Amino acid sequence: MKRVFLDPGHGGSDPGAVGHGLKEKDVVLDIALQIRHILDKEYENVEIQMSRTTDISKSLRQRTNEANAWNANYFISIHCNAFNGKAKGYEDFIFSGLSDSSQSAKYRNIMHREISNGIALQNRGKKKANFHVLRETSMPAFLSENGFIDNHSDAALMKQASWRKKIAQNHVNGIAKALQLKKRTNGNQKSDSLYKVIAGSFQSKEKALNRISFLKTHGIEAFIETITLSGAKWHRVQSGAFSNRKNAEAHLKRIEKIGIDAFIIVLS
């Protein structure tokens, strides 16, 4: 099993770069979630963890600590650039303290070739920098800057769902080649379903928030999803979404163990 840690930059109170009605935190989260989805669906010997899957604030230190504690095989940070409105294009980084024969550099050569392929962005090349997430990670680490959000033509691309999907697919192609991932065969295909674990549904928001606090005291993360059923507003406490039913069931058991009635809903 290879462990891939995906780090969509910024989030929560930190929007990252902004321009042309876009926020970097939203663009990179969308790309990272798609990378996870494609990797999980198409490759069998890979596990994925993300520094965030929603719009939350997280320090750089938390991000690298999590990846180090998990013993990831590869750390991939996804960003968009901004400068003076005129600068544009794609570039990527490894830590400035590394030689060109390091594992990070070798992986990066593959990532750079795959990601820059056919994405309609000018290629600004392979770079090195002393960024926290590249320096403080104990495994090979890579950071992509997928266009300039303050540049008119780059931002126009970022607004296209098909372009974000292409960027995600190209990251996947690079990761699969670098880590020599095995493609799923026909008999071992994953379904496209998503299994959401729901730990309670409340009309009162306060009750939903109480449920989230209770889960948190047991180390279980959850958030509120608001839905409308027959004209009434409900606050659904969602704890985890899985593409594998077994993982969803294991998570459900964890929640039931602390005395909460939970259930799974399937989206396909």
- Which position's Cβ is nearest Zn ion? 79
Q: Least CB distance from residue 262 to Zn ion, whole Å?
A: 36
The 10 Å CB-count burial string (b at 16+, else e) for 173-191 is: bbbbebbebeeeeeeeeee
Q: Least CB distance from residue 24 to Zn ion, whole Å?
A: 5
* CB of 16 or CB of 89, closer to Zn ion: 16
Q: Least CB distance from residue 207 to Zn ion, whole Å?
A: 37
Q: Least CB distance from residue 177 to Zn ion, whole Å?
A: 25
Q: Is 111 exposed, middle or buried (0-12, 13-18, 19+ CB in 10 A)?
A: buried
* CB of 9 or CB of 200, closer to Zn ion: 9
47 is catalytic: no
* CB of 50 or CB of 181, closer to Zn ion: 50
Q: Which residue has the tokens 């963890």?
A: 49
* CB of 62 or CB of 193, closer to Zn ion: 62
Q: Least CB distance from residue 46 to Zn ion, whole Å?
A: 25
Site of interaction with Zn ion (CB under 5 A)? 9, 16, 79
Q: Is 210 exposed, middle or buried (0-12, 13-18, 19+ CB in 10 A)?
A: middle
Active-site entry in 42, 47, 145, 206: 145
CA distance 79 to 94: 13
* CB of 17 or CB of 260, closer to Zn ion: 17
Active site amino acids: 145
